Amino acid sequence: MSMMQCRRFLKGEQNMRVSDIETPAVIIDQDVVERNLQTWQKYCNRHGIANRPHIKTHKLLELARLQLRLGAVGITCQKLGEAEVMAQVADDILVTYNVVGQAKLQRLVDLARQIRLSVTADHPTVVHGLSEAMQKESRPLPVLVECDTGLGRCGVQTPVEALDLAKQIADSQGLQFGGLMTYPTSIPKGTDFMNEVVRLITQAGLSVPVVSGGGTPQMWDAHKAEVFTEHRAGTYIYHDRYTVEKGAARLDDCALRVVATVVSRPTAHRAILDAGSKALSSDLLGLSGHGVIVGFPQASIVRMSEEHGVVESPGAPLTWEIGQRLQIIPNHVCVVSNLFDQVHAIRQNRVEEIWNVAARGRLQ
């Protein structure tokens, strides 16, 4: 079924069902999404944690809107390009990224005039660029200091560096010190680091309005990391094989699945799916095989080409025939969202809506 046919279905000519969708395709179970969002929002409310979900996982206007309606204080974007899209539905966006270069800084200024934008920085050069861009603006830009509490990615390396950068931000025209940010929240290493930074900054006479942590695997321990005032979870909306392996969810909390078709049965123990690395991505995240094939625990996608998933079942022969449809829970759901232009929002087996992945490919 082509997209054009899909739209006809949705206009009520017929009821479109999951079995009508042409594969490979993404389905989103809205009941599961709503349960995931509500459960986490309740947890945040109970523990007084501000919920600022990361939209990189879904990149959908529809679900950002839902997250906000259920109680999120704002959203998180990784790239400015994502924030520009999400500004259609969100008026409070934190971009957890060093915004660098004249063209991006001009876009940042434009966006900061439209919504309550905040960003992170981890270096005096970044703060300097932000201040130069923002200096003539009437409303100062909140800038949070990104701290590397063990991941080894961005972030200042020591609490003293964090203090120095906070002071620089507070002293910079067009900016205000917005607090602290790290990813992911880790206990006790991350909390020890952040406690020390808060102590130093408070001692220096500045207040720390926000301490922002993040990550889905550790989300249910967020309340133990008392120094944090807000949490940025992304994957929690859909969950995936990785967050299940990490104990943050069960398999039936996984809301996104890739629907695929068996297109070849070369041997009794091998089947080929029409979903390869251009549908599932090749992210392994330390797991073995590419996703969980729902209902077939003995079968595994052992390797992929771009448009082929190679399934092997070393034990019993596979009974699938050519044309059989399967559903796959991906290893890493965030990269799958970025490979599809559209996703199918379902309830039970009915396709209710087709959503454009509005922020897909917004890398810049």
Binding site for its own copies (CB under 8 A): 1-2, 5, 22-25, 56, 78-79, 97-98, 100-101, 103-104, 107, 122-123, 125-126, 129, 148, 152-157, 261-267, 270, 272, 274-275, 277-279, 281-284, 305-308, 310, 321-323, 334-335, 338-341, 361, 363-364
DSSP H or E segment with residue 293: strand 292-293
DSSP letter at 322 equals T
Quote the least distance from Cβ 208 to its own copies, whole Å: 21
Answer positive or negative: Cα dihedral of 55, 57, 60, 66.
negative
Residue 320 Cβ vs its own copies, minimum distance, rounded to whole Å: 12
* Tokens encoding 229: 């005032």
**Closer by beta carbon to its own copies, 49 or else 193:** 193
Minimum distance between the CB of residue 45 and its own copies, rounded to whole angstroms? Answer: 28
Q: Smallest gap, in angstroms, from Cβ of residue 61 to its own copies?
A: 18
- Distance in Å, CB of 364 to its own copies, minimum: 5
Q: Which is nearer to its own copies, 229 or 338 (CB)?
A: 338
Q: Which CB sits closer to its own copies, 14 or 364?
A: 364
Name 327's bridge partners: 259
Cα–Cα distance, 229 to 233 (Å, whole number): 13
CB-nearer residue toward its own copies: 211 or 336: 336
Other Cβ atoms closer than 10 A to 251? 12
Q: Which is nearer to its own copies, 36 or 96 (CB)?
A: 96
- 198/275 with CB nearer its own copies: 275
Question: Nearest distance from residue 339's CB to its own copies, in Å?
Answer: 7
CB of 361 to its own copies, least distance (A): 5
Q: How far apart are CA 234 and CA 216, in angstroms?
A: 6
Reading the block at residue 77, the tokens are 């974007």
Angle between helices 30-47 and 61-69 in degrees, nearest 10: 40
307: left (phi over 0), alpha (psi -120 to 50) or beta: alpha
**Closer to its own copies at the Cβ: 44 or 275?**
275
What is the rounded CA–CA span in Å between residue 174 and residue 130?
Answer: 8
The three-class DSSP label of residue 355 is strand
The dihedral sign for the CA sequence 95, 337, 152, 197: positive
* Residue placing its CB nearer to its own copies in the complex, 185 or 261: 261
Smallest gap from residue 143 Cβ to its own copies (A) = 14
Please, what is the minimum distance in Å from the beta carbon of residue 25 to its own copies?
A: 7
| 209 preceded by a cis bond (ω within 30 of 0) | no
At position 163, the amino acid (one-letter code) is: L
Q: Characterize the bridge pairing of strands 211-214 and 230-232.
A: parallel
Task: Label residue 246 exposed, middle or buried (CB < 10 Å: 0-12, 13-18, 19+).
Answer: middle
